[in-house]
Amino acid sequence: MGFLSQFQTCFWTIILFLFMVLNCHVNETALVLPKNVTVSAVFVFGDSIVDPGNNNNLPTIAKGNFLPYGRDFKDGPTGRFSNGRVPSDLIAEEFGVKGLVPAYLDPKTQLQDLLTGVSFASGAAGYDPLTAKTANVIPMSGQLELFKECIKKIKGGVGEERAATIISEAIYIVCTGSNDISNTYFSTPFRRPHYDINGYAEFNARYANQFLQDLYGLGARRIGLLGLPPIGCVPSQRTIGGGKNRDCYEAENQLAIAYNAKLSGVIDSLKAVYTLPDTKLIFLDIYYPLLSLIQNPAKYGFEVATKGCCGTGLIEASIFCNPTSIPLSCPDASKYVFWDGYHPSEKAYKILVPIIINTHLNEFF
């Protein structure tokens, strides 16, 4: 073999090697999906945990489109209620779809975005219709209406056949319920006189059940329902109901546990109804994975688990975590389990999402 041939062989070997290295690096966070499985898109419904900015133009105080929100995000504040990315983004990345899930109501969202999934979630929403009404945000029923509108746009853009494939091969994530506990049941006089803890959990489970049936009716077949976190242990709820030592607000945690039991039961009952092989309904527990971070912060590389990074870390969230909070905010949010008084930090999400998705991966397919 002549020098030129040897050089060409070496050159293309190096190029191929670099391509493989770069390709592996780009996709290193994505899961390895089962053979012959495609995830076309990720569509998301719920509250501020998965809202990337749908509330930005609503007349509500439940917003996060200003600093210090988004201070560690490449685009700055977008309406995500964290210092960086949120679970909707990370879940889509885990499934190899894309690294950011845009807000459906973002004026910049285009047809191409719709084809691989968007979030309809609205911060401060809940299964209880009163929760969204009180906060003046988009209720779960309204989020379904937006999804119907989205489907029409997809069909108009790529045709009925491709649209049907996108809808059936997508992953659907539903994440809400915490605001029903913290903002409605324990903070207003409207529900507690009529429902004890189990009664209120059952009341909301009926709404969750109807939501999932309606979502199924629109073509969703792979649905992951996130349970509630230990809401009584988030910083603001410790301050409100944890006494002088700021312990966890146990009454809220008890309701979260009862709520999760009912939601898990809803999934089980729907599985018995929707028995076709392509239908996958999964309850995703977040309560105990997050509780582990809170109770064992050092194990996961955190230093602070009872206060948020924003401001004093004791109560601030949404409009109360704002530019005036910046001088008091922590310099490094990655040391904190919580970004503000209510929402975890991006680092906490980056630990939690792979744990939850990996635990249930095979159930989606």
Query: Which of 19, 16, 18, 21 is closest to 8 using CA atoms?
Result: 16
Torsion sign over Cα 321, 326, 329, 335: positive
Long-range contact list for 194-200, CB < 8 A, 24+ apart?
Answer: 197/251, 197/254, 197/255, 197/258, 198/258, 200/255, 200/259
Annotation says 48 is catalytic: yes
Residue 83 sits at the vertex; the CA angle it makes with 79 and 86, to the nearest 5 degrees, is 65
Annotation says 47 is catalytic: no
Q: How far is the C-alpha of 211 from the C-alpha of 52, rounded, in Å?
A: 21
Query: DSSP string of 163-211?
Result: HHHHHHT-EEEEE--HHIIIIIITTSSSSTTT--HHHHHHHHHHHHHHH
Tokens 């809940």 correspond to what residue? 126
Task: State the angle between helix axes of 197-217 and 250-273 in degrees (0 to 180), rounded to the nearest 10.
Answer: 40
Query: Which of 132, 152, 138, 147 is closest to 212 using CA atoms?
Result: 147
Of these residues, 40, 48, 88, 329, which one is catalytic? 48
Of these residues, 89, 180, 340, 345, which one is catalytic? 340
Strands (E), 195-354: 222-226, 280-284, 304-308, 336-338
CA atoms within 13 A on the CB side of 204: 34
Annotation says 340 is catalytic: yes
Q: Say how far residue 26 (Cα) sits from the centre of its chain.
A: 22
Count other Cβ atoms within 10 Å, centred on residue 226. Answer: 24
Catalytically active residues are 48, 340, 343
